[in-house]
Amino acid sequence: MVFSSPTFLFVFLPITLFVLVFLRGRLQNGFLLLASAFFYLWGGGAAILIIAGVALASYGLAWLPWGRWRERPSRAILRLALAGSIGLLLIPIFIAKYLPVIGAEVTGVPLAPFVLPLGISFFTFHALSYVIDVATGSIERERRLLDYALYLFVFPHQIAGPIVRYSEIRAEMPGRREAPLPQLGVGFARFSWGLAKKTLVADPCGQLATTLFTLNAAGDQLTAADAWIGAVLYAFQIYFDFSGYSDMAIGLALVLGFHFPENFFQPYRSISITDFWRRWHVTLSRWFRDYVYIPIGGNRRGPVVGIVALVVTFSLTALWHGAAFTFLIWGGMHAAMLLIERFTGLRRTERFAVIRRMLVVVFLVISWVPFRSGSVPQLLSYWHSMFAGGRGINPAVITGVTPFLVLAVVVAVVSLFGPRRLTGFATVFGTRSTRDTAGMRWWLAIPATVILFAASVVAILVTGFSPFLYFQF
């Protein structure tokens, strides 16, 4: 069950919201926990035991005497206990995501991969941030298991983010969360906005992109035009798919009384790759910055340590997405660009903004290819087609151009190159943050929400629905 499925839109969500209206206090949290567990059970089956185990383990680890260990002159025990806690919480993700790959490399025999539990990277990082924050004294441990379990399980963010730290919603966990009518309106508008991005833009772009990448994987030689069309469409797909999911999660959270952090800030308008990582998947970037990059030393201990910290951070970011050399290539490309911008000073200047934005877009289109390719040979073949392919257009491209795709590309291009005031939820509807309802342009939001939701439902019924790309992570 995904946010863009009829079952979720017309059965699960209405029933959940209807029941919550009549509940108060802890009963509301208890029912929401049960509903979220059912939501995960529907899509993840027995894998719910993994997220339940991670929840119990991280909750228990927070009760270790971290405060006493922090007060000791030597912090050896604190560091050892924290390292052990992190290692313990990483065991499920290691077994499910990396052990089959490592085993195949060691033995030379392909091993049957584990079925990757839905959202395992996301809920593991939620649990890690909680334990690390408690251990370092950033927050107090949560005494109520129900509240903490709800934090990990609550269905808007359990499968694909955004990565929410417990401190960000802790005050909203106990008791009844009041969601005033304006907040409900913003929440439903934001949800419909994200649903439209997914169904009206990401999915049509993804259909033809998938066709072209599949042809490349099968050994068919793509022309240069084919390859660039597929790469550009995938760049559109991954942005509108993932940012659409984040919009939907943030909107649903508002309806439930939570305020999730923003996850995207128009990243394809970035003036540099440094700027891009301030705008793309912000909660993941912030997680690695605070829990990996800064603890290693960041840029405070000289250029050598800064280089090491950056390379380690992006290596782990790449491996977070999957145990494949293609992800490491993608991460290496971004790390290299960040280092170039750091040592040339490009990250600190806004000169030649228009040209640099165009170059950033070209780099991103090229760098998404290893992210999408299933293997290094497929990646090299695709890049070869992009830069040394023949002329002409594959018939699959001609037959794959549908009215839905034309509309999707127009919307994507306007979002990327159009006037800033015409793009983005905040600039269209007038809200500056999830807590800002005063600036909402209701005269536009109400009809737009109805139209976007109706158009998205029609698209779902006509073309079917597809899972979000980041479910695989």
Residues assigned a catalytic role? 321
For 259-277, give one letter per residue: b (16+ CB within 10 A) or e. Answer: bbbbbbebbbbbbbbbbbb
Burial class of residue 131, CB neighbours in 10 A (0-12, 13-18, 19+): buried
Q: Which of 400, 376, 225, 468 is nearest to 409 (CA)?
A: 400
Q: Which of 266, 260, 225, 228 is nearest to 417 (CA)?
A: 266
**Phi, psi dihedral angles at 65 (to 5 degrees):** -75, 65
- Helix 442-463 to helix 203-217 angle (10° resolution) is 40
Within 8 A by CB and 6+ apart from 141, the residues are 62, 63, 134
Alpha helices in 94-223 (DSSP H): 99-107, 120-135, 145-153, 166-169, 181-196, 203-217
Size of the chain, expressed as the number of residues it contains: 473
How far lies 90's CA from each of 15, 53, 371, 441, in Å? 35, 12, 23, 45
| Token code pair at residue 396 | 């699959």
- Helix 120-135 to helix 76-93 angle (10° resolution) is 170
Within 8 A by CB and 6+ apart from 382, the residues are 213, 216, 222, 227, 230, 231, 369, 373
Q: Which of 37, 74, 35, 69 is nearest to 52 (CA)?
A: 37
Q: Which of 464, 424, 429 is nearest to 244 (CA)?
A: 424
| Token code pair at residue 15 | 């029933």
Cα 437–438–442 angle (5° rounding)? 75
* Cβ–Cβ under 8 Å, residues 429 and 444: yes
Single-letter code of the amino acid located at 203: D
